[in-house]
Amino acid sequence: MSEKGEVDLTGAKQNAGVWLVKVPKYLSQQWTKATGRGEVGKLRISKNQGKAEVSFTLNEELTTIETIGEKTSMVRAPREHPFTLQTVGGQTLAVFTENSSGQSDAEASGSGTGSGPDKIALEGVVVQRAECRPAVSESYMRLKKLQIEELSKPLRFSQQLDKAVTTNYKPVANHAYNLDYEKRKKEEGKRARADKQQVLDMLFSAFEKHQFYNIKDLVDITKQPVIYLKEILRDIGIYNVKGTHKNTWELKPEYRHYQSEEKSD
Amino acid sequence: MKATSKTTNHKQVINSTSYSAVMTSLGSQGSSSSSSTEYVVRVPKNTNKKYSIMAFNAGDKVSCSTWTQARMERDMSNRRIYGEEETQEGAAGSEFGKKQREEARRKKYGIITKEFKVEDQPWILKVNGKAGRRFKGIKKGGVTENASYYIFTQSADGAFEAFPVHAWYNFTPQAKHRTLTAEEAEEEWGRRNKVVNHFSIMLQRRLREQERGGGDEDEEEGEKGAKKKKKGGRGGDLRIHDLEEDLEMSSDESDGSNGDDDEAKAKAKKEKGAKGKGKKKKKKGSDLEGFEDSDDGDFEGLEVDYMSDESSSEEEEPEKTKPNKGEDVPKGIDEMSESEEESEEETKNEEENKEEEEEEDGKKTPVQVEKKKKKDSSGESDSSEDSDIEGEAASALFMVKKRTPPKRGGGRGSAGSSRTGSRPGTPSIDNAATSNTLRAAASKLEQGKRQTTVPSSETPAAKRLKMEPSPQSSSGKSTPQPASGKSTPSASDVLLTEDAVRRYLIRKPMTTKDLLKKFQTKRTGLSSEQTVNVLAQILKRLNPERKNINDKMHFYLTE
């Protein structure tokens, strides 16, 4: 990993100039649908009486937009897109790439165990900024209209139901859950007091795992009646009233031996 | 827009001309005034490279072509905040079911903690290695929400390739110089009216840090610097080394109150230019150790001898402590000291300085103003002035004048070093009142000596200076010392004789250190070793009585 972080500066050395172009969302969506080598259209650069004009023409097959809903083939993306050129201004915009070799999702590698080292390379410097605008046409207007309609729908909306919903809660003599609970209780029966030594063993092994325990949790673990358990705990443990671990039981210091994770009796 | 189009035009013309040959003339519309070429645009699909934009601010003047090497990695410093590192699980310190309980609690209160996403972390870019620049690149949000950015590069076959921009990072340069923390900034803000020399602020901070690293000084040193530092402050660091060396040289002479060169050095650093007062510094160290930041209590136990003009030890203390409390001292004193500092600098120019010192003697505030003006005119920020001079003026008035330490001194390394070497005994001139001018004269002498003049010129200059101040001191200052005391030293400073020593000891009890200070090597022409030897012999002959004042052995004679 010694190479990690090393930036490949070949692009900067060559002073490769690139263009930064702002492209509308629908167009970029169409571009992702390109087939083959990825040819999406043609860029025409012309010099018209001293002014440069750049225009992009979308390939025919990419103009069909798949939309959700009824109007599918009616709307087509416009083909002509003149570019509006702007200067970079004083800003220096450099382009760098991350080659996350083989890693599909960067987030996955974000846990820190990143498999392949990211190769960072400086590709070049932006020399020209441009905005790709669609040439205004009927089809474009329709497209826009559709988009606006989509977006203006609220995420949540109210819908009137024909029939009242009656399937959720039915009045019942006793709920299923309750029945199960009572059955379980009956089976377990009252907790019997086991041998003190056995209970102590159980407690010590529990305290080996964690230092602080709630009384309820201990009851659960040892399956002893609360009063009996409390008596035993009073012998070997202390009850934390204040502090961070409130209302928890912990072993007395003489019984504790956490460094080596042993319990001495 | 016109201008831009022209530039783009230019580029495109180049492009066209270089690639038009490659391109087939598909759809080259030809009209006489326009020519166009068509390029195929491709959006490569299978690239696993993610393109991002690195944006620099215009004012930072970043040019990628000047980079020889660069390293960039994610800044993971936020991980621990977001990561919610668990305290140890199991065994000691853990509760049963704590995790579940915490989770339940969070859900109940609706606390949503953001995940730590590596993708969103800022970049740290280091250019040109250790000595180069550092940048931090913070991700800009909202870039890909409504529109997508694409990078169009021209490939070898003349076609354009468009790559989508994954993220946009704004890179800002990171300051390599030290900055103040919030608390320190607030402190300085409170002092802004009192501190004239703002360059010293960072210097003091640095010194303070060094102190803490060394672990022996207290903050006084830092404060002390406050006033002292002048423009030369920044250079002070460089000169510190000189000073250290000088101090070590001169430390031989002194008995070394602390005996620590470190302390002296540290102090010297502060004083920037520690004018060779190695001894003084050491003394200061010891004296200062016990002092607190506040002004008031510091001078209570100090002896103030208004009659003698050679009570160097006492005067040194107040003078030393004075610097420390830069802030707390009333404005007048600050101005005074500052003006003194300024005057010190100018002392290098000699003649003019003399006038200033005299002025100082005469009046307080007006002097400061004038001094400041003078300072401006001289424009020489060569510090290493005698803090004594400053101290004198103040001490005369308040007896609390600290000696404005050599302060900025640092600056001109040479000056500083020469200074230290040349005036081991300057502190001796720290007498109240009359000593102001004396000291000024002395320091000026030293400076003059250092700079250009031959050592021999010192003597006449010293004599001259000493004569001048005396009338002044008697006239203006409320200084307690009589002018008469002034005139005598002129001769004694020059020769290390038994008479001279006797005179000193009769007038006032002195320590050996004080005596040594009186007989500076430059004045007497003896080396430090010789001075020590001769002085020892003289003392043997005189056999003065001893008294312990302030835990120091003082000699005195009664006749």
CB distance A20 to B151 below 8 Å? yes
CB distance A20 to B53 below 8 Å? yes
DSSP class of residue A63 equals -
| Co-location of A124 and A221 in the same domain | no
Domain membership of residue A42 (yes or no) is yes
CB atoms B36 and A47 under 8 Å: yes
| Co-location of A127 and A27 in the same domain | yes
The pLDDT assigned to B284 comes to 44
The pLDDT assigned to B272 comes to 44
| Co-location of A140 and A207 in the same domain | no
| Co-location of A75 and A204 in the same domain | no
Whose tokens are 């903690």? That residue is: B113
Residue B412 region by backbone torsions, left for phi larger than 0, else alpha for psi between -120 and 50, else beta? beta
- Quote the CA–CA distance of B12 and B160 in Å, as a whole number: 13
Residues in chain B: 559
The pLDDT assigned to B299 comes to 60
ipTM (interface pTM): 0.70
| Co-location of A203 and A89 in the same domain | no
Q: What is the mean pLDDT of residues A207-229?
A: 82
Q: Which B positions 93-132 lie with beta carbon below 8 A of chain A? A: 93-98, 116-119, 125
- Quote the CA–CA distance of B514 and B427 in Å, as a whole number: 8
The pLDDT assigned to B506 comes to 86
User: pLDDT means per 10 residues in chain B (559 residues)?
Assistant: 46 44 39 69 82 86 81 81 54 66 86 80 85 87 84 84 89 81 83 78 80 58 43 43 46 42 43 42 45 56 58 45 44 48 46 45 45 44 44 45 43 41 43 50 57 46 46 43 41 68 84 81 75 84 82 80
The pLDDT assigned to B16 comes to 43
Of A43-47, A225-229, B381-385, B540-544, the range with the lowest mean pLDDT is B381-385
Among all residues of chain B, which has the CA nearest to that of A34? Answer: B43
Domain membership of residue A234 (yes or no) is yes
Q: Indicate if the pLDDT at residue A203 is higher than 80.
A: yes
Among all residues of chain B, which has the CA nearest to that of A56? Answer: B41
| Co-location of A147 and A26 in the same domain | yes
CB atoms B5 and A51 under 8 Å: yes
Domain membership of residue A172 (yes or no) is no
A77: buried, middle or exposed (CB in 10 Å: 19+, 13-18, 0-12)?
A: buried
Please say whether the dihedral angle defined by the alpha carbons of residues A169, A173, A174 and A176, taken in this order, is positive or negative.
Answer: negative
Chain A residues with CB-CB distance to B77 below 8 A: none
Domain membership of residue A260 (yes or no) is no
| Co-location of A203 and A79 in the same domain | no
Q: Indicate if the pLDDT at residue A81 is higher than 60.
A: yes
Among all residues of chain A, which has the CA nearest to that of B92? Answer: A211
Domain membership of residue A31 (yes or no) is yes
CB atoms B96 and A87 under 8 Å: no
Alpha carbon distance, N-terminus to C-terminus of chain B = 96
CB atoms A206 and B59 under 8 Å: no
- Total domains present in chain A: 2
Domain membership of residue A82 (yes or no) is yes
Domain CATH code at residue A203: 1.10.10.10
| Co-location of A96 and A201 in the same domain | no
Minimal C-alpha gap between A141 and chain B (Å): 18
The pLDDT assigned to B154 comes to 85
Per-residue pLDDT band for A1 (boundaries 50, 70, 90) equals: very low
CB atoms A39 and B41 under 8 Å: yes
Q: Whole domain around residue A200: which residue ranges?
A: 192-255
Domain membership of residue A43 (yes or no) is yes
The pLDDT assigned to A105 comes to 34
Domain membership of residue A182 (yes or no) is no
The pLDDT assigned to B320 comes to 44
| Co-location of A69 and A146 in the same domain | yes
| Co-location of A94 and A211 in the same domain | no
| Co-location of A210 and A84 in the same domain | no
- Quote the CA–CA distance of A112 and B443 in Å, as a whole number: 64
Residues A233-259 as b or e (16 or more Cβ within 10 Å = b):
beebbeeeeeeebeebbbbeeebbeee
Q: Indicate if the pLDDT at residue A71 is higher than 80.
A: no
> Closest by alpha carbon to B40, among B137, B162, B211, B126?
B162
| Co-location of A28 and A146 in the same domain | yes
User: Is B19's Cβ below 8 Å from some Cβ in A?
Assistant: no
